[in-house]
Amino acid sequence: MGFFNQLFGSLFKKPDAPALTAEQIDQIQASFAKVQPIAGIAAEIFYARLFTIAPEVQPLFKGEPGSPEMAEQGKKLMATLAVVVNGLKDLDAIAPTAAALAQRHVEYGVKPEHYDKVGEALLFTLEKGLGDAFTPELKAGWASAYGVLAGAMISAAYPGYRRKAA
């Protein structure tokens, strides 16, 4: 049991909740593959939603909404999400990447509290992109997967930060 799994087992999972199962991971990977061909549109939906529910984070981004810079930013986000999603079965392998990404985010002015908003915008985007295929079970899987990633990024970049209990 490695670093990520320990985190998942202790900090980010209610003691009685099931871990992310291999089946859930398969579903998440298959659903993300469906979103990838429309990655550009998905990224637009994502930022539009994020800036609606968390307008305070918009100034952290250099590009204006709808600008080529934001399109570029959207591509980077989707590419990085692809790495994470494809690595869900071996979280220890992506831990150093996630930690470095989180450290860079501190420099962008990102606060731990922003992670939940990004998670919300991500789930919204998947719901729009996948329609009926975004079943409650799949949504729960994505929510846990994002929770693991965000939790690990937050503990790597903001030592001592305690998330409010949900």
Contact residues toward ligand HEM (CB under 6 A) are: 57, 60-63, 73, 76-77, 80-81, 101, 104-105, 108, 110, 114-115, 118, 149-150, 153
Instruction: Tell me whether residue 53 or residue 60 sits nearer to ligand HEM (CB atom).
Output: 60
Sign of CA dihedral 52, 109, 111, 69: positive
- Quick count: other Cβ atoms within 10 Å of Cβ 6? 11
**Shortest distance, CB of residue 5 to ligand HEM, whole angstroms?**
18
d(CA 100, CA 4): 14
**Shortest distance, CB of residue 58 to ligand HEM, whole angstroms?**
9
CB 150 within 8 A of CB 37: no
What tokens were used for 97? 């990447």
**Shortest distance, CB of residue 147 to ligand HEM, whole angstroms?**
10
**Shortest distance, CB of residue 154 to ligand HEM, whole angstroms?**
9
Dihedral pair phi/psi, residue 26, rounded to 5°? -60, -45
What's the N-to-C CA distance of the chain in angstroms? 26
DSSP designation for 40: H
Dihedral pair phi/psi, residue 60, rounded to 5°? -75, -20
Instruction: Tell me whether residue 71 or residue 101 sits nearer to ligand HEM (CB atom).
Output: 101
**Shortest distance, CB of residue 138 to ligand HEM, whole angstroms?**
19
d(CA 158, CA 64): 28
Instruction: Tell me whether residue 104 or residue 132 sits nearer to ligand HEM (CB atom).
Output: 104
Instruction: Tell me whether residue 104 or residue 162 sits nearer to ligand HEM (CB atom).
Output: 104
